[in-house]
Amino acid sequence: MTGEIWTRRDFFRRSAAFGALAVVGPAALAACSKVNTGPVTLDSLKSAGKIKIGIAGEQPYGFTDASGKVTGEAPEVARAVFKNLGVANIEAQQVSFDSLIPSLNAHQYDMVAAGMNIKPDRCGQAAFSVADYSAKTSFLVKKGNPKGIKTFDDVIAKKAKIAVLNGAVELGYATDSGVPDGMITKVETQDDLLRQVKDGRVDCGALTDISLHDVVKKNPDAGLEVTEGFDPVIKGKKVLSAGGFVFRKDDTDLLKAFNTELKKLQGNGEWVKIASPFGFSQANVPTAEVTTEKLCQSG
Tens digits of residue pLDDT in 246-264: 999 999 999 999 999 999 9
Under 8 Å CB-to-CB from 182, ≥6 apart: which residues? none
Cα–Cα distance for residue pair 53/103, rounded to 1 Å: 10
- Residue-level pLDDT at 36: 58
How far is CA 73 from its chain centroid? 9
In the chain, where are the structural domains located? 2-134+240-297, 137-230
66-87 per-residue burial string, b: 16 or more CB within 10 A, e: under 16 = eeeebbbbbbbbbbbbbebbeb
The list of the chain residues with pLDDT below 70 reads 1-37, 299
- Residue-level pLDDT at 27: 43
- Residue-level pLDDT at 214: 85
**CATH domain 137-230 topology:** D-Maltodextrin-Binding Protein; domain 2 (3.40.190)
Do 184 and 175 meet the contact criterion of CB atoms below 8 Å apart?
Answer: yes
- Residue-level pLDDT at 72: 96
- Radius of gyration of the chain measured on its C-alpha atoms: 19
Residue in 209, 279, 220, 218 with CA at minimum distance from that of residue 61:
279
Residue 164: strand pairing partners: 186
163-191 tens-digit pLDDT: 998 877 789 899 999 999 999 999 988 88
Is the overall model pTM greater than 0.95, yes or no? no
Cα–Cα distance for residue pair 165/117, rounded to 1 Å: 18
- Asked whether this chain's domains 2-134+240-297 and 137-230 adopt the same fold, the reply is yes
Complete DSSP assignment for 74-141: HHHHHHHHHHHTT--EEEEEE--GGGHHHHHHTTS-SEEEEEEEP-HHHHTTSEE-S--EEPPEEEEE
**CATH domain 2-134+240-297 topology:** D-Maltodextrin-Binding Protein; domain 2 (3.40.190)
- Residue-level pLDDT at 297: 86
- Residue-level pLDDT at 155: 98
31: amino acid identity, one letter: A
